[in-house]
Amino acid sequence: MARIDLDHIRHSYLPNPQKETDFALKEVHHTFQEGGAYALLGPSGCGKTTLLNIISGLLHPSHGKLLFNGHDVTNLSTQERNIAQVFQFPVIYDTMTVYDNLAFPLRNRGVPEADVDRKVRETLDMIDLADWAKRKARGLTADQKQKISLGRGLVRSDVNAILFDEPLTVIDPHMKWVLRSQLKQLHRRFGYTMVYVTHDQTEALTFADQVVVMYDGGIVQIGTPAELFERPKHTFVGYFIGSPGMNVLPVEVDGKTAKLGSLAIVLPGTPEKTGDSMELGIRPEYVRLGRVGIGVSISKVEDVGRHKVVRAKLEGREIAAIVGEDEEIPAEPKLRFEPAGINVYADSWRVEMRA
């Protein structure tokens, strides 16, 4: 296992990057602690996979250094870095049996056959393919093939880190859940350093201790799932995490009050900084619907099972609120913002508030 330091890493796919926009990955300076479970979360094309491939050595960064346990590995090949990586789409060796597929990474490294057998059998049990061991891999379903890919990632116990590049995309929902909990268990048992790329927030939040949210080639926030939920550093994090995402309303800030059109909302404190555009962010979970507060008109109620999502209009703006499954929606509904859930953003970045 290793601690991974990304030292001012930037990457561009262009031969001569000039502008900031030429970079697929803007400067990243971060440390993945030894034995940590991290998720890289972000929309497609935000640079997650680029970052992952730089760690595994499939890509050489244009700028910056990469260190494993303090040793510079920037110029080492993938093989020398001793990394396991699982890809989005199943990669299997068609002509081999399931067993040989799993044994492949071990045999390539000259592991004694007795150890190979022990490790492969362990892994087969883990991915629940023990009965298929002797079968040719090409006849399997996409699910099973991806499990083999996962298995090949997990079969070596001496790796510096295990990287996952949206590994569960092709797996069906039930199996996804099972495999994710297995990965989590493995992490607890063996303490692998794991980096998991995904665009699915549930996956990221359930898998990782620390979630790295990426947007447009840069890291916007690194934090625990709770931090990302309560204190999104950037409005993007607010939108991207949560279902539905955070309500972001353009406001004018004057001391402790935020003006939204003709409405005045009392803030829990005075923002330390103001910018050209100020916004108030509040998660639907903190928007209370009742008989006191600001009058709104409800446009839609979505019952999602555990709770109801109420879509309403406030000063001409869409706003979402979450209401308990058996709570009643009053005839003349009024909104109230819970002070604990209010965040203020100056030019899309969160600002602290003084009491």
Partner 1 sequence: MERTWNNKAWFLVLPVLVLVAFSAVIPLMTVVDYSVQDTFGNNQFFWAGTEWFEELLSSSRFWQAMGRNLVFSAIILAIEVPLGILIALNMPKKGWGVPVCLVLMALPLLIPWNVVGTIWQVFGRNDIGLFGYYLNKLGFDYNYVQDPLDAWFTVILMDVWHWTSLVVLLCYAGLVSIPDAFYQAAKIDGASRWAVFRYIQLPKMQRVLLIAVLLRFMDSFMIYTEPFVVTGGGPGNSTTFLSIDLVKLALGQFDLGPAAAMSLVYFLIILLLSWVFYTVMTNYDAER
Q: Which residues bind partner 1 (CB under 8 A)?
A: 53, 56-58, 77-79, 83-85, 87-89, 91, 93-96, 104-105, 108-109, 138-139, 149, 152-153
H helices of 11-141, in order, are 48-56, 78-81, 98-108, 113-126
- Euclidean distance between CA atoms 180 and 164, whole angstroms: 11
Q: How far is the CB of 315 from partner 1 (least distance, A)?
A: 50
Sign of the alpha-carbon dihedral angle for 136, 140, 146, 147: negative
Closest to partner 1 by CB, 96 vs 309, is: 96
Q: How far is the CB of 1 from partner 1 (least distance, A)?
A: 17
Closest to partner 1 by CB, 96 vs 130, is: 96
Closest to partner 1 by CB, 79 vs 224, is: 79
Q: Is 196 helix (H, G, I), strand (E, B) or coil?
A: strand
Q: How far is the CB of 328 from partner 1 (least distance, A)?
A: 53
Q: How far is the CB of 38 from partner 1 (least distance, A)?
A: 18
Closest to partner 1 by CB, 96 vs 222, is: 96
Give the pairing of strands 84-86 and 162-165: parallel
142-154 vs 173-190: helix crossing angle, rounded to 10: 10
Nearest one of 180, 184, 152, 151 to 166, comparing CA atoms: 180
Closest to partner 1 by CB, 85 vs 343, is: 85
Q: Are 137 and 101 in contact (CB under 8 A)?
A: yes
Q: How far is the CB of 18 from partner 1 (least distance, A)?
A: 22
Closest to partner 1 by CB, 38 vs 164, is: 164
142-154 vs 113-126: helix crossing angle, rounded to 10: 130
Q: How far is the CB of 58 from partner 1 (least distance, A)?
A: 5
- Euclidean distance between CA atoms 286 and 303, whole angstroms: 18
Please name every residue paired with 252 in a beta bridge, in sequence order, or none if there are none. Answer: 259
